[in-house]
Amino acid sequence: MKVATGKSILDGIAIGPLRFYHKVDTEIVMASKLTPAEELSRFATAQGKAQEQLGTLYEKALEEVGEDNAAIFEIHQMMVEDDDYVEAIQSIIETQGATAEYAVFTTGDNFAATFAAMDDAYMKARAVDVKDISRRLVNILTGVVEGNLLGDQPVILVADDLTPSETVQMDKSKLLGFVTRKGSTNSHTAILARTMNIPALIGVEIDEAWDGKPGIIDGYNHCVYVEPTADLAGSMQKKHNEDLQQRALLQGLKGKENVTLDGRHVNLYANIGNVGDVGLVLQNDASGIGLFRSEFIYLNAQSYPTEDEQFAIYKQVAETMGGRKVIIRTLDIGADKQADYFQLEKEENPALGFRAIRICLTRKEIFKTQLRAILRASAYGKVSIMFPMIISVREVRDAKDILAECRKELASEGVAMGEVEIGIMIETPAAVAMADELAQEVEFFSLGTNDLTQYTLAIDRQNPRLDAFYDPHHPAVLRMIRHTIEAGHRHNCWVGICGELGADPKLTETFLRMGVDELSVSPSSILPLRKIVRSLDLTKEPTVVNPPV
């Protein structure tokens, strides 16, 4: 038996034969026998064909993984037409007398290398997207048709890397899981794997000698077993069966209340990034939306989204949720979330820089556009507003003043609006220290534990070299959470958690004993958390021992 380790995309088990996937090697000729004008025409035709293929992939992904995840293929369509990308290809054709396929291949390699060299993790992950669209164009130009990736029987696919296109095109009934040498947990391929519930490992030192041999992906322990022993195979099969049974049992919790055995109620809300995620919220029976990350509307746009564009999105979410609470976090852009059209200057320390509420309070018109859209949508459901990265009472009051200004303008225009609850994110030690004062300004707090942990421990959570030091269970972090909950309750301000810790089953009991009112998590975590909540009796001794807080 051989064991190889990597990074797990999804907790889960996959058992089956390992199959290597080799991309078709295309012979690319540089010098063209045609004129540059004829090669440019070939390229333009390939662009059109690529757009058709990507449109088909978008429709397939829309059906299988939802609008938000399908959006990558809309992005690919835009990349195929990107001015810089196209101009680089045209220049190589015209100045070097090259074939269109050589120009596309060379440009794709150059652009991918540029992305891969960037510091930002999100931009690094875009390298594979450039390679994906370039490979598609080269295949069209050379007449190559990619074959069946999986064959006739269910397999664990092993590859150097996989693109989003390849992942979506696979027959899901034949794909048990996949293992790749390259890849990123931030890549669209990883996101698609999680959404489709496919166990996967990335960053694995793969060996072609594995091809055809029995294998097991153990997503819990971040490893793949090649030719496992009979005992290991038996225990892994048992764990896999338990996972399937657990999923089936969780479905029986739909419609049940989030109430402990001693009668304590907690709201279990879901985090979303766009309209396409609402289906998963309803499917997993969340009580509401505790975090609508509105910045993704901006990140998926080519220029500032208009008031009407945003209103349409917020209205659809509010209406679809049918009276359940929808908490919209205002624009939280900056740091690792960048949109070129904002023209934000490069910063030495972006995590501590010009971001979130700091942008909104200094670029008032952008802020007002969003607030007006949210206020208009509040007439169609139970909408709340949450301001991110707050560190002072002054910031809250300034934001509320701008909100009041927008409400006054809309009222004078005869626009209908509903009542809107106002809250803030608690994600800095400063906000925790000021929690008593801040609680008197708003109606709710939501603890953003990802940033709170980062700033409390002085550890960059994007830096993999610090993984051994990054401890979200650190007593200092837990004490800050408890202090915030107690301060909020002293002033009739309810308190929730919307960061990664909210979905940590090891802390659910701890948070409930602290008095947390709400946990907002990924849609898939709702039912597992409901099961834990319904099994607890808070009048008895704690069943989970955590560091003293």
Question: What is d(CA 79, CA 129) in angstroms, rounded to the nearest whole number?
Answer: 9
Helix (H) or strand (E) holding 226: strand 223-226
Find the catalytic residue in 360, 406, 493, 498. Answer: 498
Helix, strand, or coil (residue 171): coil
Tokens 């279990």 map to which residue? 268
26: its two tokens? 């295309």
What does the CA dihedral 442, 448, 454, 457 come to, rounded to 10 degrees?
70
DSSP state, residue 378: G
Cα dist. 46→25, 52, 165, 372, 482 in Å? 19, 10, 17, 43, 59
Phi-psi label, residue 197: left if phi above 0, alpha if psi -120 to 50, beta otherwise? left
Question: What is d(CA 481, CA 516) in angstroms, rounded to the nearest whole number?
Answer: 9
Question: What is d(CA 135, CA 178) in angstroms, rounded to the nearest whole number?
Answer: 21
Annotated catalytic, 498? yes
- SS3 string of 264-333? CECEEEEEECCHHHHHHHHHCCCCCEEEEECHHHHHCCCCCCCHHHHHHHHHHHHHHCCCCEEEEECCCC
75: its two tokens? 């992005």
The DSSP bridge pattern shows strands 200-202 and 382-387 to be unpaired
Helix, strand, or coil (residue 18): strand
Question: What is d(CA 431, CA 480) in angstroms, rounded to the nearest whole number?
Answer: 10
318: its two tokens? 């509010």
What angle is formed at CA 377 by the lines to CA 389 and CA 527, rounded to 5 degrees? 70
Question: How far from chain centre, in Å, is Cα 430?
Answer: 27
Helix (H) or strand (E) holding 384: strand 382-387
365: its two tokens? 């018109």
Annotated catalytic, 188? yes
Cα dist. 29→106, 113, 299, 464 in Å? 12, 22, 38, 41
Find the catalytic residue in 188, 360, 406, 493. Answer: 188
Residues classed as catalytic: 188, 498
